[in-house]
């Protein structure tokens, strides 16, 4: 294996991961800033990063930046924004072809790193504040995004259900915020948020690729370490775990919208920290192609096209999503609970457990062939306070026995049932 992984924390508030394998044909650098989710500030950070990805002082408009990216063999430069536990992770990433594959082996890796640093540290400012050129447009697009959240019914059901499942916790907050707050954002607010983000956020830097871009990596490491050292009050997270407490009684919410299909989302919470058993329970239950939910809710009962589950380790919550025929929501929910009860009672075969372990082993090993997969693997490991390689994680999965599986399943309690169904249907969930 020519894979090399190293991690360092050269100062408080910064973590650097370097993943390289000479077989990779692209080099990517991801800079993430982590802050607590805040109803007012988080949407501003999100807008700020999209502005930083669109221009810098050297390339002050989208066309010039677009030209530069095309010149670098179609390198992509993009903002990232998502929730992890009760934190907001935002940042910029650049990904381009390895130098050895460019025409005449032109060195573009250093230029890609320079561009990324320019966008973060040398934005397009006029008289000390962000230029209005893209701010108004960014604001308008943010407002449209807020108004258009309902467009994709499945995604909307997902974000609506979080409000009930994580009520009172930062994870319930929408990353786009409200229209009222978006209207209040001005150049000064962006400027203040920019300074605050650079001064306070926890910094994670990930390099993934062929490993030959040594100069580019050094340049980024040096600049970001300098930033981390410049502020004594910088946040530092050893992990982003923020378990969500389970409600004493499950909460049921039904909403109606103009749509064809019903979306059923169920949240099960746990207080168990046995993450490898919980991940395996989730896989066997609804996370693999031959899962209990797939084989029973879809294949046996023909109730839906999709029915699957995912485990959010940071919130210690398993989320089941199902697109179901209006009127069959209760049948689907009953069967989902029935399948989980079977796992709780140990009603699964050794073969099912072995097959699940084999599948998660294959999925973990497949990360070794994907730079993006390895990047998110190690970031997610760090977010959970670990640094397990895919191989190490497989060992942990193979240590899980039937007893731990049942115990982990028993720890999952129903917290929220959310149904979004077509207008005028009978209420049977």
Q: Binders of another protein among 37-56, rule CB under 8 A?
A: none
* CB of 252 or CB of 365, closer to another protein: 365
Distance between CA atoms of residues 51 and 134, nearest Å: 7
Q: Taking CB under 8 A as the criterion, which residues in 310-349 touch another protein?
A: 323-325
Q: Which of 338, 329, 328, 340 is nearest to 268 (CA)?
A: 340
326: burial class by Cβ within 10 Å (0-12, 13-18, 19+)?
middle
Answer positive or negative: Cα dihedral of 322, 267, 240, 41.
positive
Alpha carbon of 248 to those of 53, 200, 271, 413: distances in Å? 44, 37, 13, 10
- Nearest approach in angstroms of CB 385 to another protein is 27
For residue 311 the two structure tokens come to 């485990």
Strand-strand pairing, 4-8 and 251-257: unpaired
* CB of 33 or CB of 134, closer to another protein: 134
* Of the residues 6, 8, 25, 252, which one makes contact with another protein according to CB under 8 A: 25
421 in contact with another protein (CB under 8 A): no
248: burial class by Cβ within 10 Å (0-12, 13-18, 19+)?
exposed
- Nearest approach in angstroms of CB 388 to another protein is 17
Answer positive or negative: Cα dihedral of 164, 165, 168, 169.
negative
* CB of 74 or CB of 385, closer to another protein: 74
- Nearest approach in angstroms of CB 423 to another protein is 10
* CB of 150 or CB of 253, closer to another protein: 150
- Nearest approach in angstroms of CB 165 to another protein is 22
188 in contact with another protein (CB under 8 A): no
**Phi-psi bin for 302: left (phi > 0), alpha (psi -120 to 50), beta?**
left
* Of the residues 9, 66, 245, 427, which one makes contact with another protein according to CB under 8 A: 66
* Of the residues 7, 178, 239, 261, which one makes contact with another protein according to CB under 8 A: 261
* CB of 146 or CB of 220, closer to another protein: 146
If one counts every other C-beta atom within 10 angstroms of the C-beta of residue 209, the result is 27
* CB of 63 or CB of 214, closer to another protein: 63
- Nearest approach in angstroms of CB 145 to another protein is 8
For residue 273 the two structure tokens come to 């920290």
- Nearest approach in angstroms of CB 64 to another protein is 8
Q: Taking CB under 8 A as the criterion, which residues in 79-98 touch another protein?
A: 96-97
* CB of 57 or CB of 179, closer to another protein: 179
* Of the residues 152, 230, 347, 387, which one makes contact with another protein according to CB under 8 A: 152
* Of the residues 11, 13, 21, 314, which one makes contact with another protein according to CB under 8 A: 21
Q: Taking CB under 8 A as the criterion, which residues in 346-375 touch another protein?
A: 355, 358-359, 361-363, 365-366, 368-371
Place of tokens 């019914």: 153
- Nearest approach in angstroms of CB 185 to another protein is 16
- Give me the DSSP letters along 276-304: HHHHHHHIIIIISTT-HIIIIIIIIT--E
Do 272 and 408 touch, CB atoms closer than 8 A? yes
* CB of 355 or CB of 380, closer to another protein: 355
Do 145 and 179 touch, CB atoms closer than 8 A? no
* CB of 11 or CB of 324, closer to another protein: 324
Buried b (16+ CB within 10 A) or exposed e, 119-158: bbeebbeeeeebbebbbeebbeebbebbeeeeeebeebbb
- Nearest approach in angstroms of CB 98 to another protein is 9
Do 174 and 161 touch, CB atoms closer than 8 A? no
User: What is the torsion angle, in degrees rounded to the nearest 10, for the CA atoms of residue 67, residue 68, residue 69 and residue 73?
Assistant: 100
Half-sphere exposure for 204 (CA within 13 Å, toward CB): 27
Q: Taking CB under 8 A as the criterion, which residues in 275-314 touch another protein?
A: 288-290, 294-295, 298-299, 302-306
* Of the residues 34, 75, 204, 406, which one makes contact with another protein according to CB under 8 A: 75
For residue 325 the two structure tokens come to 């025929």
147 in contact with another protein (CB under 8 A): yes
74 in contact with another protein (CB under 8 A): yes
Alpha carbon of 337 to those of 285, 319, 420: distances in Å? 10, 12, 19
Q: Taking CB under 8 A as the criterion, which residues in 199-258 touch another protein?
A: 257-258
* CB of 21 or CB of 415, closer to another protein: 21
- Nearest approach in angstroms of CB 3 to another protein is 9
Residues that contact another protein, how many (by CB under 8 A) = 71
- Nearest approach in angstroms of CB 14 to another protein is 29
- Nearest approach in angstroms of CB 289 to another protein is 5
């Amino acid at each position: 294996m020519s894979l090399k992984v190293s991690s360092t924390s050269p100062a408080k508030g910064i973590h650097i991961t370097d993943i390289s394998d000479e077989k990779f044909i692209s080099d990517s650098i991801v800079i993430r800033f982590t802050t607590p989710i805040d109803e007012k500030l988080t949407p501003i950070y999100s807008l700020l990063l999209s502005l930083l990805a669109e221009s810098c002082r050297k390339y002050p408009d989208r066309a010039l930046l677009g030209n530069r990216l095309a010149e670098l063999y179609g390198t992509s430069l993009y903002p990232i924004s998502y929730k992890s536990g009760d934190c907001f992770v935002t940042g910029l990433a650049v990904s381009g072809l390895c130098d050895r594959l460019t025409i005449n082996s032109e060195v573009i890796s250093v230029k890609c790193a320079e561009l990324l640093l320019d966008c973060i540290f040398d934005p397009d400012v006029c008289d000390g504040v962000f230029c209005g050129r893209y701010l108004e447009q960014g604001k308008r697009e943010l407002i449209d995004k807020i108004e258009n959240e309902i467009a994709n019914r499945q995604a909307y059901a997902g974000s609506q259900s979080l409000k009930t499942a994580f009520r009172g916790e930062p994870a319930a907050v929408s990353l786009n915020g409200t229209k009222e707050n978006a209207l209040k954002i001005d150049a000064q607010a962006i400027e203040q948020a920019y300074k605050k983000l650079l001064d306070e956020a926890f910094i994670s830097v990930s390099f993934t690729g062929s490993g030959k871009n040594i100069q580019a990596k050094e340049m980024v490491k040096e600049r970001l370490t300098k930033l981390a050292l410049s502020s004594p009050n910088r946040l530092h997270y050893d992990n982003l775990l923020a378990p969500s407490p389970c409600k004493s009684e499950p909460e049921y919410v039904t909403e109606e919208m103009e749509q064809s299909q019903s979306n059923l989302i169920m949240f099960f919470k746990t207080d168990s920290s046995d993450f490898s058993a919980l991940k395996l329970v989730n896989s066997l239950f609804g996370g693999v192609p031959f899962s209990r939910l797939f084989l029973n809710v879809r294949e046996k009962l023909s109730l839906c096209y999709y029915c699957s589950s995912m485990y959010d380790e940071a919130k210690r919550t398993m989320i089941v999503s199902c697109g179901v025929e209006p009127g069959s929501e209760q049948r689907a929910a009953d069967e989902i609970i029935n399948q989980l009860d079977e796992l709780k009672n140990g009603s699964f075969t050794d073969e099912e457990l072995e097959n699940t372990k084999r599948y998660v082993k294959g999925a973990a090993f497949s990360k070794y062939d994907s730079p993006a997969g390895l990047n998110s693997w190690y970031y997610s490991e760090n977010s959970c306070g670990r640094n397990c390689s895919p191989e190490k994680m497989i060992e942990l999965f193979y240590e899980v026995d039937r007893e731990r599986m049942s115990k982990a399943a028993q720890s999952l309690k129903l917290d929220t049932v959310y149904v979004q169904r077509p207008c005028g249907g009978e209420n049977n969930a």
